[in-house]
Structure 1
């Protein structure tokens, strides 16, 4: 399962900013040689998510809240309210508790078995980018590694190395 953006010894910052009706969002993409329905499982099934980012539990559905434990964040438990879910193309959710949430989602587009995953993280402040950007680059490269059965990338290669790029966005 190769991808165009393999985690390298010195990772590359790839994010960009876009504004839409919901606000300013950090966007980061990865391309996979797999159909969208296959990649969807890596993004939504608890056993596959646990390989690269965390585990969820509860009853999923639009408008419902699930518990999400981020395994690389000292077991941080987030509440995720599912705002949109259209398998295998689209997911949006609010992470956190009322008044202190961050909206994240992803879209999958595919053509002839090649799927582009685009992550979208809505920003409360551009000042958060120096931390958020490197974190998502690392997690997405962990997704790549989990799908390729490769060694997981080292956080120390991403932060603070990619922070300056994100500060300038």
Structure 2
């Protein structure tokens, strides 16, 4: 069955401390604590991206990105900043080059019963941006669906990639 969900490229390039990031925003009619839980609690994450195990206060956890495959490989996620419920900064080895690391930043702000999530990922090249950008639009749309009770099956990665790749290649080049 064909999905009725129409994906959009929502990420934009932003310089942070001299480094290029793709930044995505989503809004939720929910308290900040609820959105924080959706991005940090394993039983909430598993609904839209994957799950983790370990002791976050140790500075790292094991993570499995299981949204597409139950047998996803384990990744070690290093937690650099955890300022609940407002900011989370993490790192892990990049799948294309384990000597390099991805950096992710999650920032939350609440106003008038609406919480805005800003998700940023360091992206150093247009080649990476053309897959990372569509990937995060896909996962964040899954998060919105999971948190609002929408149909996750309507969100099909094949509609995001390669369709949104050119947008992100151009966005990083600007």
TM-score, normalisation: structure 1: 0.90
Residue 35 of structure 1 corresponds to: 31
2:81 aligned with 1:79: no
Q: The residue matched to 1:71 in structure 2 has which SS?
A: coil
- Does structure 2 retain, via aligned residues, the 8 Å contact 1:35–1:112? no
Residue 64 of structure 2 corresponds to: 69
2:15 aligned with 1:13: no
Q: Deviations over 1:127-163 (max 9, x none)?
A: 2111000000000000001011211111111111111
Q: Deviations over 1:17-38 (max 9, x none)?
A: 1112161111000011111111
Residue 170 of structure 2 corresponds to: 168
Residue correspondences, number: 162
Residue 54 of structure 1 corresponds to: 50
Structure 1 residues 6-155: aligned runs within 5 Å: 9-21=5-17, 23-61=19-57, 64-74=59-69, 75-96=72-93, 99-152=99-152, 153-155=155-157
- Does structure 2 retain, via aligned residues, the 8 Å contact 1:31–1:116? yes
- Does structure 1 retain, via aligned residues, the 8 Å contact 2:46–2:67? no
2: CA distance, partners of 1:77 / 1:96:
11
Q: Which moved more, 1:123-132 or 1:51-60?
A: 123-132
Q: Which moved more, 1:91-100 or 1:68-77?
A: 91-100
Deviation at 1:8, TM superposition (A): 6.3
Q: The residue matched to 2:79 in structure 1 has which SS?
A: strand
Structure 1 or 2: more helix by fraction? 2
Which runs of 5 or more structure 1 residues have no equivalent in the other structure? 1-6
Deviation at 1:95, TM superposition (A): 1.5
